[in-house]
Chain A
C-alpha cells in the first residue's frame, strides 16, 4: 500500500479508537487522557498485535512507524509550547512558603524513593551501558513529574480550581514541571555527551541558549502581545512567526544536544503572560493538537508498550511496587509539606493525590528514556502501567475527597462563623496555605 494511504488509514483507526475510549473514560468518570493512553496500548502489541498479529503487521508495519512518529513529535513540540505557555515564572517567584516547600518536597521525596528503588531495579532491569547515575536520575525524574495540563483539567472538573488547594496544586505542578524538564535536560546531556569536553560544550550551549531566550527573545516576544491587543488575534503572518520561533528553538536545543521538546517548552515559558493572549493561543493551538496530533503520540506510545514483556508474577510484583513507591513518594512529599505549613489533613491529602497525576508528560519523558535507551522496553511498559494507574486514581479519589474537604471546612467555618465559599476560596495571587 502507498505510504500516504497507509498513514491515512492508521490515523483513521487511531482517532476512532481514541475517540471511543476517550468517551468511555468520560462515562466512567475519568479524564479523556486516560482513555487515549488505553487506546494506544490496545492498538499496540499488547492487545491488537497479540490477538491478530498479521493484521497488526499489515496496519502498523515497522517501516511505517517513522511517519507516525514524526507527526506525533510535531504535535508534542507544539503541546510542550502550550505547557510552557501556562507557566508564569513571575507567579512562581511570588509563591508563598507553602508552595515552595510543597513543590520542592514533591520533587525530592519521590526522587529519593525512586533512587532507593533503583538499587534493586538497576541490577535487574537496566543495561550496563547505562550508568547507575543516569538510570537513577531518570527514574527519579519520572517519579517526581506531575502532569500540569491533566491536573488543571481535574481541578476544573472537580470545582477546586479557585480554592487554596487548587492554587497551591497548580503552582506546585508548575515548579515540578520546570524542575523535571531541567533534570531531564541534564540527563539527556549526560547520555549524549561523548566526553567531558562534549559535556561542557552542551552545558555551555544550553546556558547560552537560555540566556538568549530570556534576555533576547523574551522582549521581542512581547510583539505578539502588542499585535493581539491591537488586532484581537494573530494574523497568518503572526502565526507563521510564532511557529517558526517554536521550531527554531526546538531545532537548536536538539542540535545543542538536549531535546527539541525542551526548546519548545522554554519558548512557551518566555512568552508574555497576558491572560487573554494565553487563552487565545491555547484555544487556537489546542484544538488541532489535542484532536489530531496527540492521539498519534498515544498510538506511538502504545506501539512501544508491550504488556506481554511483563510476564510472570515476579515482574507484576515489580510493577505494583513501582506504582506503590511512585504514589507514596509523591503523596507524602507534597502532603506532609503542606500539612506542616498549615493546610488541614484533608487538603494536604488532596494535594498529595493531585500531585500524583502523571498523565501525558510522564509518557513524554518515558518515550525520551526509551529512545535514548536509558530504560529497557520492559521497564518502559511497567512505567506506562504506573502512569496509567496513578493518573486514573486521581479523579475518583479527588471526587471522594472534595466532599470531605468541604465538610471539614464547614466544620471549621461554623467555629469561625463564616461561609464555606469564603473559607475555601483564596486570592490566587497569594498562593499561601497560611
Chain B
C-alpha cells in the first residue's frame, strides 16, 4: 500500500508534471517564430540596374546557414557573411560575374545585399537589391535568385 502510494506520487511528479509542462511549452511556442531557410545553392540573375546593363546571369552561389547566420560561398570559396531575420536577410559579399567584362571591377569589391525570401514559391525565390555605392542610384541593382534544390 505504502509502495503503491509512493509510486503514484512519484509518477505524478516525474511523469505528469513534465507532460503538463510540455503542453504549456507547445502552447507558448505558437508565438515563437523561426527564420526562413536559405541553405542551398542559388542561381543569381541581375534583373535591373538603373544606369547599367540588366539581365546579367551571375555564377551560382551557395549559402550555408547556421540558425540566423549565413555564410556565402562561390565555387567553394567563402565570399561573405550575412544574417536572416524571419524572411528578410542582409549580407556583405564579393561577387565575380561570369559575363561581365574585366573592366567592371566594381563587382570585385565587397557589396551589400539585402533581400526577402519567398518560400511559398516552388522553387524558392529571393528578391532583393545589391548596393554597390552606399545607396547611390546607379549603384543599386535589383536581383532575383532561384533555389536549385
Contact = CB atoms under 8 A, between A and B. Distances in A.
Q: Which of B14, B29, B39, B64 has the most CB of A within 10 A?
A: B14
A130 B36 CA distance: 10
B34 A340 contact: no
B32 A132 contact: yes
Interface of A: 53, 97, 100-101, 104-105, 108-109, 111-112, 115-116, 118-119, 122-130, 132-133, 135-136, 140, 309-312, 315, 333, 336-337, 340-341, 373, 376-378, 434
Given A104-B15, A123-B33, A136-B26, A129 B7 contact: no
B34 A128 contact: yes
Nearest to A121: B67
B66 A112 contact: no
Interface residues on B, range: 35 or more
B28 A336 contact: no
* Most-contacted residue by chain B among A128, A136, A434 (CB, 10 A): A128
Contacts of A333: 14
B36 A128 contact: yes
B25 A136 contact: yes
A376 B25 contact: no
A130 B26 contact: no
Contacts of A109: 14, 18
Contacts of A434: 3
Contacts, number: 115
B21 A311 contact: no
Contact of A122 (B29, B64, B86): B29
Nearest to B36: A128
B21 A115 contact: yes
28 contacts: A97-B3, A97-B4, A104-B14, A104-B15, A105-B15, A105-B18, A108-B18, A108-B19, A108-B22, A109-B14, A111-B22, A112-B18, A116-B21, A118-B25, A118-B29, A123-B32, A128-B37, A129-B37, A132-B30, A132-B32, A135-B34, A136-B26, A333-B14, A337-B10, A340-B6, A341-B10, A376-B65, A378-B65
Contacts of A373: 37
Contact of A116 (B6, B25, B39, B76): B25
A108 B15 contact: yes
Nearest to A432: B3
Nearest to A128: B34
Nearest to B29: A132
A378 B66 contact: yes
A105 B26 CA distance: 19
A41 to B, nearest CB: 18
Nearest to B66: A378
Chain A CB count within 10 A is highest, among B26, B65, B66, B68, for B66
B67 A112 contact: no
Contact of B32 (A97, A119, A311): A119
Contact of B11 (A104, A122, A123, A125): A104
B34 A122 contact: yes
A128 B66 contact: no
Q: What 3 A-B pairs come out closest when comparing CB atoms?
A: A132-B29, A127-B37, A112-B18
Contacts of A129: 36-37, 119
